[in-house]
Amino acid sequence: MVPREAAYTINTYSYTSQYSALACIRHLSDMGFTSFEMMLIPGHFWPSVATAAEHREIATILAERGLQLETLNQPNLDINLAALSPECRDYSCAVVSSAMELAADWNARAVVVNPGKTNPVFPAGAQVLADRFKSSLDILVPRAAELGVRLIVKNHPLSWLYKGADLLAFFDDYGWANIGLAYDVANAAYGRESALDTLPKVAEHLSAVYVADTPLDEFRHDRVGAGVVQFTPISAALATIGYKGPTILEIVSPDPDRAISQSVSELERVSWPSPV
């Protein structure tokens, strides 16, 4: 029988201040998990300061323990693919490109991005932001194809473009080559979007589902069951659309081991669909 932990991909965000990426993967593997989303953060793992030995050690532990690095991710606030200034977009594209190179080296399937941000006090126009985001994609999508990895664009309520229908419309216009969508149920709840309405619409392009919980008056990524997200009907909706992709637990907690274990138990209780 496959251990229940093997059905879930664990995001390493909560561990970034406590563990190096290598130590984190070892720790989570010892807990029974086999699939991971690594956060690229200095002190955890950052490409420009990591040594060649540190780079190799990640590849070694993945191979020796039969683990899968599903995706790589970076801090949302440090990157803006829709920035108005070309210098900021160039920097952001360079960071994402370096992540894609790591993904190719470590056999990760994708790098996660969001469409970027604007000033909420005086936001740029939607067409301006769309053009800037497209200019970044024009750099990143061909590089992803060269490296054999995908870009997964995630809904994020602090982004200028995060509703499921809007993401679909954008990429129906731009094109879907080397692009998938990730749907974060906590982000959707905080952004007042119905996951039940949106999941069937994005099903064709759904590459990952992110799981956490949140209240409505504060943006959080708490353990499953600690907020307002309705996991039972969402589980049923995923089953209805035949979703078999990864479920990524992006839980932010001072005690991540406990919060993740509790979240797995709660997901099992609601018969969450499993790729295993």
Give the span between the Cα atoms of 242 and 140, in whole angstroms.
30
Give the span between the Cα atoms of 253 and 255, in whole angstroms.
5
Q: Mind listing the pLDDT tens digit of every residue in the chain (276 residues)?
A: 346 788 899 999 999 999 999 999 999 999 999 999 999 999 999 999 999 999 999 999 999 999 999 999 998 889 999 999 999 999 999 999 999 999 999 999 999 999 999 999 999 999 999 999 999 999 999 999 999 999 999 999 999 999 999 999 999 999 999 999 999 999 999 999 999 999 999 999 999 999 999 999 999 999 999 999 999 999 999 999 999 999 999 999 999 999 999 999 999 999 999 875
Domain 4-269 coded CATH 3.20.20.150: yes
pTM value?
Answer: 0.96
Domain ranges for the chain: 4-269
Residue ranges of the alpha helices (H) in 44-85? 52-65
State how far the alpha carbon of 172 is from the alpha carbons of 110, 113, 167, in Å: 20, 18, 8
